[in-house]
Amino acid sequence: MINSRPLSLSGILIILVSLLIALILSILPLPAWVLLIQPQWIILVILYWIIVIPHRISIGIAWIIGLLLDVLYGTLLGEHALALCVLAFLAQRLHRQIRMFPLLQQAFSVFILVIIYQALLLWIQGTLGQIGNNINWFWVSALTSMLLWPWVAMLLRHCQRHFRIY
């Protein structure tokens, strides 16, 4: 049953702060070797909120966050937005199944979704002729995202329960 009462101000702030922290972690200036293994923070946070409250976090939010990523990374406008929208669509379609999985199985689902996201980005960049040297390492970021999923999910679940975000 979908909760029909409006989201409280504290709930909105917690979701926005978690997305802002993920954006900041995504754009931190790091050495090149760390960028290869950097988890997809924004994907982890968006996936969590879509899986838990799909009626509150929509594909439109993923589009806006994707446009912000495009601007922050200086990539083609709409590149990350398209990939995040596809990811959000898949997460919304599969949220009931993923939510029923234990955390380790959810982590594998996150791995598959991050691979799909990165494959879309590689496809877009490939059509533009912008493939970089790190094409062989794109799965490593998905692996670190998978390994961090249980901790990110537990932290966000604690915030969700504490602030009663439903």
pLDDT at residue 6, rounded to an integer: 79
Q: What is the 3-state secondary structure (H, E, C) of 25-64?
A: HHHCCCCHHHHHHCCCHHHHHHHHHHHHCCCCCCHHHHHH
3-state helix, strand, coil in the chain (%, to 5): 75, 0, 25
Residue 25: name the closest of 42, 43, 44 by CA.
42
Segment 67-100, tens digit of pLDDT? 999 999 999 999 999 999 999 999 999 999 999 9
Residue 146: name the closest of 58, 62, 37 by CA.
37
pTM for the model: 0.94
Distance, in Å, from the CA atom of 75 to the CA atom of 86, rounded to the nearest integer, reads: 18
pLDDT at residue 149, rounded to an integer: 98
Residues of the chain with pLDDT under 70: 1-4, 132-134
